[in-house]
Structure 1
Amino acid sequence: MTSERTYHHGDLRRALLTAALDVVAADGPDALSLRDLARRAGVSHAAPAHHFKDRAGLLTAVAAEGYALFADALAGAPDLRERGVAYVRFAAQHPAHFQVMFRPELYRADDPALLTAKARATEALRAGVSTLPDAAHGEDPRLTGVAAWSLAHGFATLLLTGNLADALEGRAPEDAFRALAGLVFTPGPTEGP
């Protein structure tokens, strides 16, 4: 029995993170409690504190993991439009991470692992803006980045909350986002000779 218990809880940290993601996906981050997660994992109510200290520590780990996964998802996209598609796809595939990542009041924003993962994701997003022709982002590439982020984040949020079902009319979210991004980020007219 002891070896089974050791095996079962050999990665209690991962088990708690997985349970936390399940709770957040089903009921939102506000429904999360360490005591409930301990019950789900079949451990004492104090056991989660050994890995995360408190609820904010657990949510910090969720956000850090989310940003790392997010950075990986964005890294393979060749241009700004496809980074937006990767953004939307990430939100759809990782809704619990997505809910926590963009609510800094839930976690410790100064956590080193979180800062590293967030910096990687930010760089991947900014690199997408650099793929636009100079005329497409005018004088301020940073504002173009904010516009692209707003478009992708807004679309992803509307998708996750079920507010796009009618508007998509059966179209795949990725295809709809590509079309929308094409409307917004169309390069300006080229100058003639």
Structure 2
Amino acid sequence: MTRQSFHHGNLRAVLLEQAERALRESGVDDLSLRDLARRAGVSHGAPRSHFIDRQALLDALAERGFARLTEDVTAAGAGHPDDLAGRLRAVAGAYVRFAVTDAALMELMFSAKSGSPAAGVSAAAGRLFSAFDELFHADFAAGRFRSADPTRTRLLIAAVVQGVASLIVSGRIPQEHGDGVVDEAVGLLLADGRHPDR
């Protein structure tokens, strides 16, 4: 990328795109503002006009990751408004795909959320979990899940999607088997125990 290939007004977006690419290639440990400037084709000091330090960059990446994941699961769920099993399967699939495709970003997102997270990260994470609530609110109210406790069901959904993604990323199960594991888990979560394809 040359110095003339973007307008100064979108430098922050360019830096975040380059930072995500660096995460995919070499992980968070090698990510630095200096390397980011080199990748974006700007002066070494240019990133500091948007990120005061490396931690601010990592927080911005985590916030952006939560926003993207929220968009992905919301769009996936919107395609199945009247089919709980299909909606749950689509949402879980979108979550797992994101977690597998951007494993380093996903790890960064949840490490940034723990401890004393930046306000922007907390808000972005909150929007993700609010999206889950909105997608399944009516189903909780109607008792369509096996557990009558919505909080427990949300935790089970999170455990399933995080667990499947972790197993794929670690190589414990092939990626092509992930959908099958999600399908079986969906059947276990539903009140009637129905498999999504039955």
TM-score, length of structure 1 as denominator length? 0.78
Q: How far did 1:99 drift?
A: 2.5
Task: Report how many aligned residue pairs link the two structures.
Answer: 180
Closer, same or farther: CA 146–15 of 1 in aligned 2, 3 Å: same
2:113/2:122 contact within 8 Å kept = no
% same residue: 32
> What RMSD in Å do the two structures reach over aligned CA positions?
2.7
| Structure 1 residue 155 corresponds to structure 2 residue 159 | no
| Structure 1 residue 80 corresponds to structure 2 residue 88 | yes
The amino acid that maps onto 1:102 is: F
**Partner Cα separation in structure 1 for residue 51 and residue 180 of structure 2:** 39
**Partner Cα separation in structure 1 for residue 181 and residue 42 of structure 2:** 45
The amino acid that maps onto 1:119 is: G
2:96/2:164 contact within 8 Å kept = yes
| Structure 1 residue 145 corresponds to structure 2 residue 154 | yes
Q: How far did 1:57 drift?
A: 1.0
SS of the aligned residue for 1:5 comes to coil
Could you say which structure has the larger radius of gyration? 1
| Structure 1 residue 5 corresponds to structure 2 residue 3 | yes
| Structure 1 residue 177 corresponds to structure 2 residue 176 | no
Structure 2 residue runs without a partner (length 5+): 81-86, 194-198
**Partner Cα separation in structure 2 for residue 49 and residue 15 of structure 1:** 14
**Partner Cα separation in structure 1 for residue 63 and residue 93 of structure 2:** 21
**Partner Cα separation in structure 1 for residue 114 and residue 62 of structure 2:** 9
Structure 1 residue runs without a partner (length 5+): none
1:129/1:144 contact within 8 Å kept = no
**Partner Cα separation in structure 2 for residue 82 and residue 105 of structure 1:** 25
Render the CA deviation track for 1:33-73: whole Å, top value 9, x for unaligned: 11111222232222111111111111111111111111111
2:164/2:182 contact within 8 Å kept = yes
TM-score, length of structure 2 as denominator length? 0.76
Q: How far did 1:16 drift?
A: 1.7
Q: How far did 1:104 drift?
A: 1.6
Closer, same or farther: CA 186–105 of 1 in aligned 2, 3 Å: closer
Alignment equivalent of 2:127, drawn from 120, 131, 143: 120
